Amino acid sequence: MQKASAAYERLLNGLAAAAALILLGAVLLVTADILLRNLTRSGFPWANEVSEYALFFITVLTAPWLLRRGQHVRLDLLLAAVPGRLAWLMEVMADLVGFAICVVLVRYSLIMTWDSWRLGSITIKNLVFPEWWTLAPLPVCLILLTVEFVFRFQRLLAGEKGRRREATSVG
């Protein structure tokens, strides 16, 4: 299980690096668009659209990585206020609920992506392309989140029955 977890962590690190490159590309694109619009009165009409898609892809690529590192959005004030054992039990419940939600969302995102592909839905804005291209990363992200919840749960059961090390940013 430790080898699988280490390989999985390398995969998530690679996806986070890809997200960083996408962010760099978006920054360069928006900067070039602004410069061109101010210097030549013409820019890239599709730049805003591409930067919107970039934000979505960055979110999808980094969500499992952030969950792995314990840096996802969470309400940790309560975890800091309760005894360690109770915080551990709350973490168990949160991981089980997170896992269940991800399983349901994987199913629906796969159906949504499949239907988009099957129907030949097209996204028409400045750029025109099949809609499923933007939907396909979502089930992949949710599958990765589901897997991470399994690894989190395994680490939680194997570790000390107290508050997670990364569990709180307060007190």
- 78: pLDDT strictly greater than 60: yes
Contact 54, 25 (CB under 8 A): yes
- Angle (CA) 72 7 144, round 5°: 45
Residue the block writes with tokens 């986070």: 16
How far apart (Å, rounded) are the C-alpha atoms in residues 85 and 53? 42
- Angle (CA) 74 77 83, round 5°: 115
Which residues touch 126 (CB under 8 Å, ≥6 apart)? 45, 46, 49
Contact 74, 67 (CB under 8 A): no
Contact 22, 1 (CB under 8 A): no
DSSP 8-state assignment for residue 165? T
- 170: pLDDT strictly greater than 60: no
- Angle (CA) 106 110 112, round 5°: 120
Which residues touch 25 (CB under 8 Å, ≥6 apart)? 54
Please report which confidence band the pLDDT of residue 51 belongs to, taking 50, 70 and 90 as the band edges.
very high
- 167: pLDDT strictly greater than 70: no
- 19: pLDDT strictly greater than 90: yes
Q: Which pTM does this prediction carry? A: 0.86
Contact 27, 170 (CB under 8 A): no
- 72: pLDDT strictly greater than 80: no
What's the mean pLDDT when you consider all of the chain? 91
pLDDT digits (tens, 9 = 90+) for 113-131: 999 999 999 999 999 999 9
Q: What are phi and psi of 42, to 5 degrees?
A: -140, 145
